[in-house]
Amino acid sequence: MQPLHDIRVLGVTVFLAGPFLCMNLARFGAEVIKIEVPKRGDPVRGNGPFAGPNGIHSTRQTDQDISTRFLKRTQGVKSISLNLKQAEGRDLFLELAKQSDVVIENLAPGSMQRLGLGYDDVSQANPGIIYCSISGYGQTGPYASWRAHDPQIQGMSGIMDMNGNSDGPPTRIGIFISDLVTPMFAAYSILAALRHKEQTGQGQYLDASMMDTIATLMFMEPLEEAIEQGEPMRTGNDSRGGPTGLYHTQDADIIITVASEEQWQRLCRALEAPELKEDERFATNQARNVNLDALRLEIQQRLGKLTREVAVEQFEKHDVPCAPVRSVSEVMADAHFYQRGTLRPMWHTTLPEPIGGVTAGFPVMFSGQPLPDLSGAPTLGMHNHEIYGKLLGLSGEHIQRLQTQGIV
């Protein structure tokens, strides 16, 4: 099943947000062509650890070694080299854009315009183009010129103020959340723009801001109420209300959710603690919130006498939402993810066998038929002859001249 089989994407993308967007469009069958700087490529190509025939290691060992970061972000993508700072390189890009449906870039705002390849320039060559820019703060506004990666966005967006313990400092979320979630918003915005183009023939410019994305996620929650009431932004592993949170058993941690009166009643039965229901401090949801520290202590004292296995079994038996807090190693070893295709082996196009480690699959299963497996990550300029030769009709001698002149 390749619903985007007739869509061609040009990606002037580096690091994570842009490449992640491109890879996910490739999952649905789009032909995604990654534009890279000749001889250097995406900066991530030089970032370890590296994978090769001898496994994964911290430094390069052979010519086949490739960054595992690059592997995880460019599965199924084609690579061509092109110097956009040279006039002939710019012209070649515009020729490619004429035969493409989507352009994606995540350079610093204004970079593509200075190259003469901004939306206005490209749309003159192809009025129907969907052109998507991803940046830290957006193409407009007071912060547009500020440089940013995910850590700066987490700080500026306020999400670090929500994360961490109430008596501790703001804490960065462990994954590059703005680099990963913004491309998701961008992906379905591109699909909406393509649908609009089908109906009207009109192309469109999409301005995706990483900070704006995180802000829209945060303010789904009633943060303004917490601010008004002077409550701490950071709640750590606990909840703003009720005994939802992290608890310690004899041998491991678990996390439970108690978000309703019915769940509270079931929790008391699971703990075999009818006395908690009869305690006036915990008789109502409001009373439980007022006496939350005391309530959590009561629950912890009872859970501390059980093993994780027994505690989870008890909560499951009484239909209380509960799960063990697992290590990343436990998750990687769980057959569930491989059966569903959520985690997959990493591939590199030059090697016949999967490389050690895992990369992400796609978390949605389709009833019709599965999405196709993506090919491995490309070497730099691997598809030059295919794209310049077959798509633009350039001869081998022409491509050789471009290479000699440093254009490709």
Same domain (yes/no): 37, 82: yes
Same domain (yes/no): 311, 379: no
Q: What is the mean pLDDT of residues 242-249?
A: 95
How would you label 335-364 residue by residue, b for 16+ Cβ within 10 Å and e otherwise?
eebeeebbbbebbbeeeeeebebbbbbbee
Residue 53 lies in a domain: yes
- In degrees and rounded to multiples of 5, residue 254 shows phi and psi of -135, 160
Same domain (yes/no): 170, 92: yes
pLDDT in tens, 42-51: 999 999 898 8
Same domain (yes/no): 208, 310: no
Specify the pLDDT at position 12: 98
| Residue 212: its H or E element | helix 210-218
Distance, in Å, from the CA atom of 220 to the CA atom of 315, rounded to the nearest integer, reads 29
pTM of the model: 0.92
Structure tokens at 379: 């070497």
Structure tokens at 244: 């939802």
Residue 247 lies in a domain: no
* pLDDT for residue 251 is more than 90: yes
* pLDDT for residue 101 is more than 90: yes
Same domain (yes/no): 299, 349: no
* pLDDT for residue 55 is more than 80: no
Burial of residue 27 (number of CB atoms within 10 Å: 0-12, 13-18, 19+): buried
Specify the pLDDT at position 357: 75
pLDDT in tens, 323-375: 999 999 999 999 999 999 999 888 778 777 777 778 888 999 988 888 888 88
E-strand ranges in 220-277 read: 245-248, 253-256
User: Could you list the residue range(s) of the whole structural domain that residue 18 is in?
Assistant: 8-217+335-404
Q: What is the mean pLDDT of residues 152-179?
A: 95
Same domain (yes/no): 37, 178: yes
> How many helices (H) and strands (E) are present in the chain, helices listed first?
19, 14
345 preceded by a cis bond (ω within 30 of 0) = no
CATH number (domain holding residue 20): 3.40.50.10540
- Rg, Å, the chain Cα set: 26
Closest CA to 382 of 70, 86, 6, 102: 70
* pLDDT for residue 205 is more than 80: yes
Distance, in Å, from the CA atom of 238 to the CA atom of 227, rounded to the nearest integer, reads 18
Q: Domain count of the chain? A: 2
Specify the pLDDT at position 80: 98
